[in-house]
Amino acid sequence: METLKKLFYTAALFFISVTLGAQNITALQAAYSRSYIAENQNNYALAISEMKTIYHSDDYVSNIRLGWLNYLAKQYNESITFYNKAIELKPYAIEARLGCVKPLSAIGNWEKVKNQYIEILKIDPLNTTTNYWLGVIYYNRKDYKSATALFEKVVNLYPLDYDSVIMLGWSKLFGNSHADAKLLFQHALIIRPNDSSATSGLQQINKWLETNLKYPIK
């Protein structure tokens, strides 16, 4: 009889746990649903408020969601805080780091943007989005050698990606690799005929040739 009582007690606890779990999941799903509806209506304050009703600091998903919503609401510091919490919870989650890049870019903190990209490439060295945008940062800083290395990774993976091809072409040109730059600009014109950027690059190379014919092309 005592054994039966224990079994009944254990079964009752399990039933209560399952029931409470189902209720919690239902409440969670409902809060997310209301938050999505508010977001679609551009009511970011309400979308954030709905998420905060079920927020737990150790929940990766809600931190990501609040990072995104605060970014949309242009509350960039709050957005960064939530994204950083998500990164702490899942250090190898690339989506959290890419998410954090958005508010960091919005406030112009390019050094921290660069650091996030570097951390992503430690996890996923061939991440094309990260290689491209880190390349853009180096290009804007006139570090054409570093930019070239990153754009080359993307072009090797996606030879028909116009943006990467044209950026590699300009990086090569400003890095004084004129022969490579010419081939890349010509290739860009195959991908996108009459492209003004590629045409401009070829014109600059022709001007360089006119004044440096006695020197070999690097």
Q: What is the DSSP string of 193-205?
A: TT-HHHHHHHHHH
Residue 152 scores a pLDDT above 80? yes
SS3 218: coil
Residue 20 scores a pLDDT above 60? no
Residue 92 scores a pLDDT above 50? yes
Write the pLDDT tens digit of every residue in 154-182. 999 999 999 999 999 999 999 999 999 99
Rounded Cα distance, 80 and 207, in Å: 47
In this prediction, residue 102 carries a pLDDT of: 98
Domain range summary for the chain, segments of one domain joined by +: 38-124, 144-218
CATH number (3.90.1150.10, 1.20.120.430, 3.10.450.50, 1.25.40.10) of 38-124 reads 1.25.40.10
Write the pLDDT tens digit of every residue in 44-87. 999 999 999 999 999 999 999 999 999 999 999 999 999 999 99
In this prediction, residue 213 carries a pLDDT of: 67
Burial 101-131 (b: 16+ CB within 10 A, else e): bbbbbeeebeeebbebbebbbeeeeebeebb
Q: What is the DSSP string of 13-61?
A: HHHHHHHHHHHHHHHHHHHHHHHHHHHHTT-HHHHHHHHHTS--TT-HH
The answer as to CATH 3.40.50.620 being correct for domain 144-218 is no
Question: Which residues, 6+ apart, have CB-to-CB distance to 109 below 8 Å?
Answer: none
List own/partner pairs for 151-158 with CB under 8 A and 24 or more apart: 153/125, 153/126, 153/128, 154/128, 157/126, 157/128, 158/128
In this prediction, residue 7 carries a pLDDT of: 42
